[in-house]
Amino acid sequence: MSATRFALGLLGWPLTHSLSPMLHGAALHAASLDGGFRCYPVRPGPNAARELDEWIDRMRTGVLHGLNVTVPHKVRILPLLDALTEEARAIGAVNTLFLDAGRVLGDNTDAPGFLADLDSQLAPSPGYALILGAGGAARAVAFALSRRGWRVLVASRRLEQAKEMAGAISNRSYPTVQAIALNAPELQPVIASLTLIVQATPAGSELAEGSAWPDQLPLPSEAMVYDLVYFPRETPLMLAAREAGLRTAGGMGMLVEQAALSFERWTGVRASRQAMRLAVGLAEPAAERSPG
């Protein structure tokens, strides 16, 4: 799309510690594009749908050129949009809103962003994956892994939510997503088979202390652990996994990748991932060469 100045933003709650303004500010600067990125908190509750609809209307009228969506609105915003991309429809959650001929469409860059970072950090071969959680981010991860040939088990304390998610993502081509209750007795029999654990709940973040992994349940000896939480950089689950000798990765790399893909959707310009990684401390500035 064409814009003299890109007005971009993020919808969600809470947004106090969001790194998105830093990421997109760095991408805009690196691409020599004029614009800005702001956080627009939308508190969950009875007025949330009306507020979300107002922000979507600002896109339809050209006041805003692109929006990201984060918790808790990735699924709740779907009925308010004009259409979804094929991938967003299959996942059942969006994180990116963009304009197309005056319509506001929902896309999901979480899935490809997760895979890009998973490949770069852990590079696992398809096997048996356990996803902790059944929210919007978990849906994107389950979709991405199942399409890569993984067998996926979704564990949630709200078993009905996990079953709904597994049923929505699975189909005749990818009948590999199943649901299970997130508790020690249910997980115990499958631990030995796991090669990847993806933590997709707020546990360990600023929103919720502790770990989603059940107490007293040993971690699988051969699994890798990827935690979508990016602040703090090392969550309680990551620490426990590292102490058990497992390879771990946090969610900061995924945050950068999904943001870069959103930026490219909005601007049509390739995002400088190096500039974005520098902005959030994932990369070191290039050392200056001394003269002579």
Phi first, then psi, for residue 37 (nearest 5°) are: -135, 125
Amino acid at 54: E
Phi, psi of 11 (to 5 degrees): -105, 135
- The token pair that represents 109 in the structure block: 């860059």
- The strands making up 96-100's β-sheet, listed across from edge to edge, are 35-41, 6-12, 66-69, 96-100, 103-107, 83-84
Distance CA 115, CA 141 (A): 8
Terminal-to-terminal C-alpha distance of the chain: 46
Which one is catalytic: 24, 65, 74, 277? 74
The strand pairing partners of 97, in sequence order, are 67, 106
Would residue 163 show up in a list of annotated catalytic residues for this protein? no
- The residue type of 52 is L
Supply the residues annotated as catalytic. 74
